Copies of this chain bind each other. A is one copy, B any other.
C-alpha cells in the first residue's frame, strides 16, 4: 500500500488534483487529466488501477502531508496555553492555504464519503486536529486561565468551520470586501482579518468568567 511513487505518477496526481478541484471528481474526465499531465489515457489505469483509486492516492498523499505540517505544532517549544491556541489557529490557516487545491477538493467530496479509504483518511485527520485543540484547552484549564465549561468538540467545530467557511466562500467574500480575487492566491489582509478575529473570539470565550487579576 505504501509503495513509492515515481515522477510520472506524481505528475499525474498533481494534475489530477487540479482537475478534480476545478470540475469536481465526477465531471473530471480521465482524458482531460491525461492531456494536462501529458501522458496517455491508459497510464492512469496502468499506474493507479482506476480513476477512483487515483483519487484515493491523492487523498492519502495529501492528508499525510497535512498531518506532518500540523503536528509540527506539538514540537514547538511553546509558551503559554493562549499562545498555543494562537499558534494552532495560525498553523491551521497556513496549512490550508498551502494545500488550498486539495482542501477545496476535500471540502467538496467529503459529504458523499461512505465507508472506505477516503472516509478513513479524512476522519483520522479531523480527529488529529481535534485532539490538538483538546490538549491546548486542557493545559489552559489546568493553568487556571481558561474557564472550565468548554465543549472541545464544539470548539473544534467553531474553529475548523470558520476557517473552512472562509475559504469555501472566498469568492463571495471578495465581493463584500471589494477585493479582486487573484487566481489561486488569497488576500493577505483578509487572511490576517480571519486569524485575528478567531483569536480574539477564542480568547473571549476561553477566558469567559475568569477574572483578570495578575
| Interface positions of A (Cβ within 8 A of B) | 23-24, 26-27, 104, 107-108, 110-113, 122-123, 126, 130, 149, 151, 153-155, 157-158, 160-166, 168-169, 171-173, 175-177, 193-194, 197-198, 200-201, 203-205, 208
Contact = CB atoms under 8 A, between A and B. Distances in A.
Given A108-B112, A164-B165, A151 B205 contact: no
A123 B193 contact: no
Interface of A is mostly: helix
B198 A126 contact: no
A107 B111 contact: yes
B153 A173 contact: yes
Given A162-B158, A205-B200, A111 B193 contact: no
B194 A123 contact: no
The winner among A111, A163, A166 for most chain B CB atoms within 10 A is: A111
A164 B26 CA distance: 23
